[in-house]
Structure 1
Amino acid sequence: MTTWVKIVHLESFKRLTNLPRAPRFLLTMVFPILLSASNLSAQRYTAMLDLSGRSAGADHPRLRPSQLEAFVDSTFAQKMRRDHIPGAVFVLVKDGQIVLEKGYGFADLEARTSVEPRRTRFRVASVSKLFTSVAVMQLVEQGKLDLDRDIDDYLGTFKIRNPYPNPITLRNLLSHSGGFDQEFRGRHAARRQDVLPLREYVRRYQPDVIFPPGKFMRYSNYGIALAGYLVERTSGEPFADYVKRHIFAPLKMAHSSFTQQGFDKADFARGYLYKDARWKPVGTRYTNVVPGGAMAATGHDIANFLLACLNGGRLGDTQVLEEKTLRQMWQRQASVHPDMPGWCLGFYERFTFGRRAVMHTGNTIGYTSVLYLLPEEHLGFFLALNANDTRFGDEFIREFHAHYFGARARPIRPVPATARHAEAVQGTYRLNLYPLHRLEKFANLQSSFEVRVEAESDGAITVRAPGQQRRYVEVGRLLYESDGGEDFVAFHTDSKGHVTHMLVEWDKPFTLERLAWYDKLPFQRLLRNGFLLFFAGSLFILPLSLRRRKRAQLSKMWKVAL
C-alpha cells in the first residue's frame, strides 16, 4: 500500500465507535464483520473481546470513589517520587459526574503551596488545540466555516503559498495533514507585550508547503495557529476573547484563559526542571502560537469540559456543541496506516488493550498534560504536572486500563515467512519534527531523535530508541506488535516497494523518515565539523595570506625604487 494518509468518510467509523450494547455472543459474531467493512484489520482489535471475558462496553466495573482515589494516590505517589515531579492534578468524570478531583504535591516548592484542583492553574500546552478545534467546529455548525473549503477563501488578502493543485482545508489543519514544513522561528516571545497579534504571526512566519495537502501527516503547530486565526477573522472577535465567551463561560471554566497572564500569581503552578539532583524553576516563556499552546486551566475547569464532551456537548442547560459534531470530531480523518491509530479533528486515537480512546497530550518546558476520553464508557480524565515527563501519562493510561477493565494482553499471532520483511525495514529512522527547507534543519544535529531498527533471525525486529529498546513481532504485512502488547509500529513503502518511513503510536501518531547513510547523525556531524574547521582555518589563514601578499608587494616596490 503506497497511500500515506487515508481520508476516511465521516460515517465509516461509526461502525466502530457506535456499537450497540448487545449481548457478548452477538458482538463476538458481528464485530469482525464490522471491522472488515471499516477497512480495519480485525486481528488488530480482537482484544476488545478479550478483556477477562467481558465485552468492551457491556458490564463496565463501577468506579467507586474510594477505590479510585486509593489507586490514583498509590500510582501518583510512586511515579512522582521516581520521576521527581513537584506537583500534579488529576480529575476523572464518569456517567455525568465528577468522580474524583485531587491535587498532589506542590504548585510552588519555595512557597510550599499545595496543588488544589479548583484553584491551581497549569499550563496545558498542546491540549489547547482541542479548544481551538471546538471553536472551529462551532463556526462550522453555524455555516460560517466549511471543513472542506480552501482556506484561502477565508483569508482575504493574506494567502497561503501552496504550490499544489489540491487546496488546504480546515479538515487538513485539524488533522495535521496540511503539508506544512516545520517552523521554529517566531514561536516564542520573551515578554507578554512582545507576543505578536495572531494575524501577524501566521503571516510573517508562514512555512513552506512541502507535501501535497491531505497526503502526509506531519504535526503542525502552525496549522492549528492558522485555524485559530480563521476563528478570529470569521467571528470578528480576538481569538482569546472568542474562546472565553463561547466555550469557557458556558462551561463555567472561570479559571481558564488563552491570555498568558498571571503566571506569577499564587494560584499558578510553577514549572520545574529536575537537574543535578535538585528542582530548578523554569523561566516564564510566552508563545506566539496562541491557539496551539497558550491555554492555562485548573483541573476542575477541565473536568467541566470532559463532562460536556461526554454529554453530547452539553453542561447543565448549556449546549456548546451538538452531539453529532462531537461524534464527527472523534471520527478518524487521517491515518498513516489502516491498522494504526490516526488523527481525528483536533483529537487523536489511542488503542489500549483494544479499547479506543480519543485524546491529546501537552508538553512544554516545565509542564506536561494528558486529556483522555473513552466515549463508549462515558468516562474521561485529565492529569497535569508542573514538570516534563511524557512517560508518566502513557504508563498511567495502561495501568488504569489494566486495573479497572481487567485487561490482559492477547496472544500475539505472528504471520509466517517474515524474515525478509525484517531485513527490508532494518535501518535508522528520524522523527520528522524539524524543518526540511530552512537553515533550522542544522539545529536538528544537536537534538535529533533517531531510532535504530535491527532485524532478528526469527523475523522479529528490535527497535532501539534513546533510553529504551523493545522487541516487535510482525502480525500483518509490515505491521509489528511489541512483545508485551503495548504498541504497534508499521512501515510505509513507496511505489517501488522500498521502505521509506516508520509509523509509531508513541505519545501521538508520529512518522519517522528512513535515513540514507549520508543523512545519519555521525556523518552529518562530521560534515558540519569539517565545514566549521575549514571556516575557522580560513579566518586564521586569510589574514596571514593578506599580510604575505602585502609584504611581497612592498618588496617589489623597493626593488623597483632601487
Structure 2
Amino acid sequence: MVIRKHLKLVLGLMAFAAHVAAAPVPENGPSSAPPTAPSTAANTQALTKADVDAWLDGLMPYALSRGAVAGGVVVVVKDGQVLTQRGYGYSDVEKRTPVDPENTLFRPGSVSKLFTWTAVMQLVQEGKLDLDADVNTYLDFEIPAYQGKPVTLRNIMTHTSGFEESIRKLISDETKTPAPLDTVLKRWVPNRIFAPGTTPAYSNYATGVAGYIVERVSGMPFDDYIDQRILMPLGMTHSTFRQPLPASLKPLMSQSYQTASGKAMPFEVVEPAPAGSLSASGADMGKFMIAHLANGGPLLSPETAKTMHTTFLDMIPPLNRMALGFYEQNQNGYRIIGHNGGTQRFFTYLWLLIDQNVGVYISLNSVGKDGAPSAIHNALITGFMDRYFPGTPKDGTVDAKTAAVHARMMAGHYIASRRSDSSFMRTGAFASQTAVTVGPDGGLLIPNFKTPGGEPRAWKEIAPFVWREVGGKQRLAAKVVDGKVQRFSIDAGSAAVVFEPAPWHANAAWLNPAMMFAVIVLLLTALSWPAAAIARRVYRAPLALTGRARLRYHLVRGVAVLVLFVCAGWLFIFSAMMQQGFTAINGKYDWLVILLQAAGLVGFIGFLGLALWNAWSAWTQGRWASRLWSIALLLAAGITLWAATTFGLLSYGLNY
C-alpha cells in the first residue's frame, strides 16, 4: 500500500530506492515557497478532450504492451467536469473483457488514504476532532508517548507519527473477510522509532488508527461512514471500502495479474482498511478529484479544504512537502498535490493541479515487467505536464570547489526512515543501505536511485546542498547541521521518507567486507570437519585428540555448521518473501522463523563462546598456525554475532 512495487516486497520494502526510482519526477524552483506558474508558452497544446484522447491513445496501448500490463484506466478532469476517461487493455484477459472507465473497478491502494483524511477533516470541521490532541483521547487502547510526546492526528496525516514499519497481514490473498479494525490495530502496536513531528516515515498502521478514530467518534463503522459521508454525496456508486466486495459490484471488479500473459490472481484483502481497501471505477475517482478541486465540493467547506491542501510540513527545504494527507508533487513550476498507491498488483497515481482546476488519475491492474507501472506513471504525468503545462526550472550554480566539498560531505551509507526496527525485518533496512558516492565530475552518484530505464542517476549541485538530477527534473537536498549531513531525500518521496546516515556499528562500508570474511572463515571451518574425517578414513589415521580437546574440536565445527544453516535459513526466508510476497510474509514460514530465532540464539552466542575457548586453548598450548587460526575464528564469531544483533536476528516473536 504505497508499497512501491512492494519495494521488492521485503528487503526493498524499507529501502526507498525503489520508491524514488519509480515515482514520477516532480520539481519546482529553488525556493520552498509554492511555485509560480509560468506564462503559457507558444508551443503549449490546448488541454482539450480531442487532444488528450489522441495523446493518450498514442501513449497507453504501447506502454501497456511494452510493460506486459493487462489493463489500465486514465481519467482527466478540468473545471469541474470530466474532460476524458479512457480504458485501455483488459479487465479480464481470458474473457477479453475491455476496461470500462465508467464501470470497471480497480484497487487504488493507498490513494484510499485520501478518503480517510477527508473523513478526518470532516470531523475536524464539525469540532469533533482536534488535529493536535493526543490520539489516545479518542482511542480505547493506548499508544505510548515517545520522548514525552504523544501522537496527534496532524502527525499521522503528515506521516510523522514515528512508527516503525508494519507489514505482516497488511495484504492477503487468502483471507476472505478481514478481522475487525480494532482487532487489527490492537494485535500489535508497532514500536516508535522517531519523536512525533520530526521525521517522515510513511505508516499504514497510523492510517488505520486514523480510520478507527473516525469510526469511534462518528459512532458508525468506518465502511458505513465512507459510504454515507463521502461516496453517496459524490454519487460514487461504483466504489466501496468493503471487503469482500458487495454482490452488486463483484462482477465489475477487474482481475489482477503479475503480467498480462499470466493467470488472474485473487482479490486482495487489506487488513488496515482505511489505509488502502478502496475499490473504485475511474469515473468515480474523477468525481472525487472534482470535489477536492472545487474547494471540497459537497464534502468539505472551502476553508477546511484549503487547510487540507495548503498546510505543509517542510522537512528538507526546498524539496516537496507533505500537506494534510496529500503529497506536494510540484512540476514545471505548477503547484500539484497528489497521492500514489499500490497493492500487490494494482498501481495507481492521482494528481491535482489545484490552481488550474485540473486532475489526472491512472490505475493499472498488473505488476508487468521491469517496473512497468512506475515507468508508465512517470511517462503519463511528465508527458502531460510537458505537453499542456510546460516550464523550465531556473537553477543556480555552485562553484566546482565548493560542490566537490559538499559531495564529499554527502558520501557514505544511509538508511531509510521507513523501516522495521524491532524484529528480524530490520535486515531490510540495514542490508540494503543507500550508498552515496562522488562522481568523476565532482557531483553525486547514487547507484540505488535509477531512472525508469534502469540507469543510475547522477546529480549536479544547483544551490548549497541542493542537487538536480542530470538530464532530469528531480532534486535532491540535504539537511546539514554543524557541518554534518543529518538527512537527505529527493522530491519524489521527501514527503514520506528521508535517508539518515547509517550508524557506525551498522555501516555497510565496513560491515559488508567483515561479514564476507566471517563467512569464509565459517565455511572453511565447517568444511574442514568432513574433509578431515575423509582424510583420516583414507589414510586410516585416528583423530589425535582426546578428552576436552576432542570435544572442543567437534563443538567448534558443529556449531559453525549450525550458524551457516541459520544464515542460510534466513536467506531462504527473505528470498521467499521477495518471491512469494505476502503469502510468505503473512505467516507461511512462521515455524521456520521461530526455529531460526531459537537456533540463532544458540548458534551465534554459542559460537563466540566456543571461539573464546578455542583461542585460550590455542594460545596456551597450541602451535603458531593454530593460534593464528584461532584469532581468525574468534573474529568471525564476533562479527557474526555483531551482524546478527544489528540485523535483528536475535529478536524473538512474529510481530513485524
With normalisation by structure 1, the TM-score equals: 0.80
Report the CA distance shift for 1:219/1:457 in structure 2 as closer, same or farther (over 3 A): same
In terms of fraction of residues, the more helix-rich structure is 2
Alpha carbons 1:90, 1:381 under 8 Å: kept: yes
CA distance in 1, matches of 2:214, 2:456: 43
Residue of structure 1 equivalent to 2:193: 210
Is 1:101 aligned with 2:88? no
Residue matched to 1:503: 489
Stretch moving more, 484-493 or 353-362: 484-493
Matched residue, 1:366 = 345
Q: Distance in 2 between matches of 1:383 and 1:71?
A: 15
Structure 2 equivalent of residue 25 of structure 1: none
Q: State the distance in 1 between where 2:472 and 2:155 align.
A: 31
- Of the candidates 386, 394, 397, which is equivalent to residue 381 of structure 2? 397
Mean Cα displacement is larger for which, 223-232 or 345-354?
345-354
Work out which of the residue numbers 456, 466, 469 in structure 2 matches 1:482. Answer: 469
Asked whether 1:355 is paired with 2:329, we answer no
Does the C-alpha gap of structure 1 residues 122 and 41 become closer, same or farther in structure 2, counting only changes over 3 Å? closer
Matches within 5 A, 1:207-286: 207-262=190-245, 265-274=250-259, 278-286=261-269
Q: In 2, are the aligned partners of 1:45 and 1:354 still within 8 Å (CA)? A: no
Q: Percent identity?
A: 29
Q: CA shift at 1:451, angstroms?
A: 3.3
Instruction: Tell me the SS of whatever aligns to 2:335.
Output: strand
Cα pair distance change 1:130/1:533, threshold 3 Å: farther
Tell me, yes or no, if the aligned pair for 2:417 and 2:499 is still in contact at 8 Å: yes
- Name 1:469's counterpart in structure 2: 456
Q: Is the 8 A contact 1:51 1:406 kept in 2?
A: no
Moved more, 43-52 or 95-104: 43-52
Higher deviation after alignment, 290-299 or 79-88? 79-88
Q: Distance in 1 between matches of 2:167 and 2:442?
A: 40
Q: Which residue of 2 aligns with 1:71?
A: 55
Higher relative contact order (CA 8 A, sep 6+): 2
Q: What letter corresponds to residue 140 of structure 1 in structure 2?
A: V
1:340 maps to which residue? Answer: 319
What one-letter code is carried by the residue in structure 1 that aligns with 2:412? G
Moved more, 503-512 or 291-300: 503-512
SS of the residue corresponding to residue 355 of structure 1 reads coil
Q: Kindly tell me: are residues 532 and 241 of structure 1, through their superposed partners in 2, closer, same or farther at Cα, counting changes over 3 Å?
A: farther
Check if 1:420 corresponds to 2:405: yes
Residue type matched to 2:563 in 1? Answer: F
Residues 148-159 of structure 1 mapped to structure 2, 5 A cutoff: 148-156=132-140, 158-159=141-142
- Aligned-partner Cα distance in 1 for 2:179–2:269: 10
> 1:254–1:410: structure 2 CA closer, same or farther, 3 Å change rule?
same
Partner of 2:584: none
How far off its partner does 1:165 sit?
1.7
Give structure 2 stretches of 5+ with no counterpart: 1-27, 368-372, 523-558, 567-598, 604-656
Q: Does 1:535 align with 2:518?
A: no
C-alpha deviations, 1:373-430, integer Å up to 9, x for none?
Answer: 0010010011100023223212211111111123345455345622110011012334
- The 2-side partners of 1:113 and 1:449 are apart by 41
Structure 1, unpaired ranges of 5+? 1-39, 543-562
Supply the RMSD in Å over aligned alpha carbons: 2.9
Distance in 1, Cα, partners of 2:147 & 2:442: 40
| 2:443 is equivalent to residue 460 of structure 1 | yes
Structure 1's 195 and 501: CA in aligned 2 closer, same or farther, altered over 3 A?
same
Of 425, 428, 443, 1:440 maps to 425
Amino acid at match of 1:513: E
Contact 1:95 1:379 in 2 (8 A): yes
Whether the 8 Å contact between 1:491 and 1:503 is mirrored in structure 2 is: yes
- Give the letter aligned to residue 130 of structure 2: D
Aligned to 2:288: 305
> Shift of residue 459 of structure 1?
3.3
- 2:414: which partner in 1? 429
- 1:47 Cα deviation (Å)? 7.6
Partner Cα separation in structure 1 for residue 439 and residue 427 of structure 2: 33
For the residues of structure 2 that align with 1:45 and 1:72, how far apart are their CA atoms?
A: 32
Which residue identity lines up with residue 182 of structure 1 in the other structure? E
Q: CA deviation at 1:483?
A: 2.1
Letter in 2 for 1:270: Q
Contact 2:223 2:242 in 1 (8 A): yes
Superposition deviation, residue 46 in structure 1: 10
Range with greater deviation from structure 2 (196-205 or 222-231): 196-205
Shift of 1:475: 1.7
Secondary structure in 2 aligned to 1:260?
coil
1:462 CA drift (Å): 2.0
Which structure is higher in strand share?
1
Q: Write the distance in 1 (CA, Å) between the matches of 2:359 and 2:560.
A: 52
Q: In 2 relative to 1, CA 519–91 (structure 1 residues): closer, same or farther, beyond 3 Å?
A: same
Further displaced range: 84-93 or 390-399: 390-399
Q: Quick one: distance in 1 between partners of 2:435 and 2:291?
A: 43
Q: Could you tell me whether the CA contact under 8 Å between 1:368 and 1:386 is conserved in 2? A: yes
Displacement of 1:511 in angstroms is: 1.4
Residue identity opposite 2:170 in structure 1: R
Say whether 1:327 aligns with 2:306. yes
Deviations 1:511-562 (A, max 9, x none): 12333584438459759966985435798x99xxxxxxxxxxxxxxxxxxxx
| Residue from 129, 138, 142 that aligns with 2:113 | 129
Q: What's the TM-score once normalised by structure 2's chain length? A: 0.69
Which residue does the alignment assign to 2:555? none
- Judge conservation of contact 2:332–2:390 (CA < 8 Å) in 1: no
Change (3 A) 1:523 1:234: farther
Task: Output the amino acid matched with 2:63.
Answer: K
Count of matched residue pairs: 488
User: 1:429 touches 1:502 (CA, 8 Å); kept in 2?
Assistant: no
